[in-house]
Structure 1
């Protein structure tokens, strides 16, 4: 674990900041001679090399290959982001781009896609948005017997969608009981979402108002539980700007980009990572191998939650790119986009 910022000397902090800033700008290791030219530290190259050696021993800098220069480690970048970064607010032009992209009218999905395009263009990364899970209003239910132990439960949504699930039958369920359960669900739960339907059934059972036997109660609760879990676990992820990740570079850099693009294609993994940003109100930064998904590609994600009209978090917006992101610029940009989406959905 790296030493906290407060344990670094003023000289070490100054050198470390210069290395990080230079690396983020160029992507290349930084040497002592470069630092002496870039800064007003009034230190000799030898003194700077000694400080850089100390920072390397602390795990904050590393010397790639045989290069004389140093670059920040993921631990160093985390220290910088958490304790040294001076975030810059989005410029008036950047705010205008984001707001204009998101204010085009039309379905919410269009605004969310526009948010990813805006972030992608401004950050030169890939833009990401985790879309609120869509739950259609329920229209019709039916149970079809497959065997004495299993049935197929069919859900028809008011948007025309049809979904099937195989469900284990409680003991004592016959064909007439299946029909009765389907008719009950259609009559009592039509027009509700899955969450609303599950709450309604639970309430009727508690108050003993449901005109069904215990086996039918169990069957209906199982069916609603399966659908609710499936929909909650089904991420809807919009990704734009993958081409921004392809830069001129050496073979190793291009291989990392290839791995990153492969990771983005595995949308469920990315969505689960973004979903972990729902729990807080602030923008979160995931750097490299802090998340096992990016252990090979060395990528970073900056993500912020946005809220619906009821004030609850409904999704997450962010960017994904190399670890040498301009965190001080992109973190506030992602945060502003999340705030704009929240205002739009209010």
Structure 2
């Protein structure tokens, strides 16, 4: 593609993002800065349409970008200078830093604050996938709630606490629960619950019946609790997407949009994929099978703790979003979240 075609495509996409209306040749002539006749512009537009970068809605003589056009735009044409009316990059960094400050004592609060910051600054939905953790425990405790109901308390190596209620067939005394916790911690502290399960297979014969049943129940409950924690994702501002006509113009789109946030499976899959890449990634609906809606785009970036990538954050919005404004928001938030978590 020559520079003239790139300039016209860039102008068309920028005007469509700004106005939400199909873009005609007169608008391109006005905003492109190129001294071209309307006939020449129409010829270039026809070529871009043949190449699949733009399309012509039936109700208008103007053109709109296709997912392929957006992809070329964000990969090869876009510059991420802060547009008028938004903070410069250094000011944006200070703004995000202020949003994340004061949370040093609670990593979970830092993560939820990052999701809120992404949403507030982008005006779309912000998402943060919590760090992947080895499903290990530092210690466990058992607390008797009733004769056959026990609270399992799990302390992770990071100091987080998980609770799980266990229903048992046998009744346990407080002394028995202390004995079981001491055995667990002295033999298995620092292991994952799956590893404990493997060890227990060879040791159950040596344990009393009451202890072996409690150990098996604790391993299953602990494994379930850690698995749930490992899949957590913070989402903020999803209701803002209801105000985006491109995503809420039909009941089918609304249903699929809410499925994304209710079930989270496809969202977690996408965030997990992007955590294996460096830097900002842009997923555009209609092009990426990971994005469930054709009119949806997701901008992500991985974040680190002590130099190791542990999770992903991002912004979910329409394909018709101001990428030059949102990309720096995602990039800077990932960098500052990495710093905040490494210091917490």
- Please indicate, yes or no, whether the TM-score normalized by the shorter chain is above 0.5: yes
- 1:49, 1:195 → 2: CA distance? 67
Task: Report runs of 4+ in structure 1 exceeding 6 Å deviation.
Answer: 182-185, 191-195, 202-205, 210-213, 219-223
1:139 is aligned to 140
Say whether 1:127 aligns with 2:126: yes
- Pick from 79, 90, 114: which aligns with 1:92? 90
- 1:251, 1:271 → 2: CA distance? 20
- 2:63, 2:243 → 1: CA distance? 22
1:307 is aligned to 304
2:113 is aligned to 114
Shift of 1:93: 2.8
Report if aligned partners of 1:237, 1:267 keep a CA contact under 8 Å in 2.
no
SS in structure 1 opposite 2:13?
helix
Report if aligned partners of 2:247, 2:253 keep a CA contact under 8 Å in 1.
no
What is the 5 A alignment of 1:188-199?
Answer: 188-190=183-185, 196-197=191-192
- 1:186, 1:227 → 2: CA distance? 13
- 1:9, 1:45 → 2: CA distance? 18
Report if aligned partners of 1:259, 1:296 keep a CA contact under 8 Å in 2.
no
Report if aligned partners of 1:304, 1:338 keep a CA contact under 8 Å in 2.
yes
Q: Structure 1 residues 260, 117: closer, same or farther in 2, change over 3 A?
A: farther
- 1:72, 1:163 → 2: CA distance? 53
What is the 5 A alignment of 1:260-339?
Answer: 261-269=257-265, 270-292=267-289, 294-296=291-293, 298-309=295-306, 311-339=307-335
Q: RMSD in angstroms over aligned alpha carbons?
A: 4.1
Show structure 2 runs of 5+ residues with no match: 83-87, 144-149, 156-160, 171-176
- 1:165, 1:304 → 2: CA distance? 42
TM-score by length of 1: 0.74
What is the 5 A alignment of 1:152-231?
Answer: 155-158=152-155, 159=161, 161-162=163-164, 186-190=181-185, 196-197=191-192, 228=223, 231=226
TM-score by length of 2: 0.75
Report if aligned partners of 1:299, 1:320 keep a CA contact under 8 Å in 2.
yes
Report if aligned partners of 2:162, 2:225 keep a CA contact under 8 Å in 1.
no
Say whether 1:60 aligns with 2:60: no
- 2:187, 2:154 → 1: CA distance? 10
How big is each residue's C-alpha offset from its partner over 1:255-313, in whole Å with a ceiling of 9 and x where there is no partner? 5762464134224222222122111221211111334464445211111111123x322
- 1:299, 1:157 → 2: CA distance? 39
Report if aligned partners of 1:154, 1:165 keep a CA contact under 8 Å in 2.
no
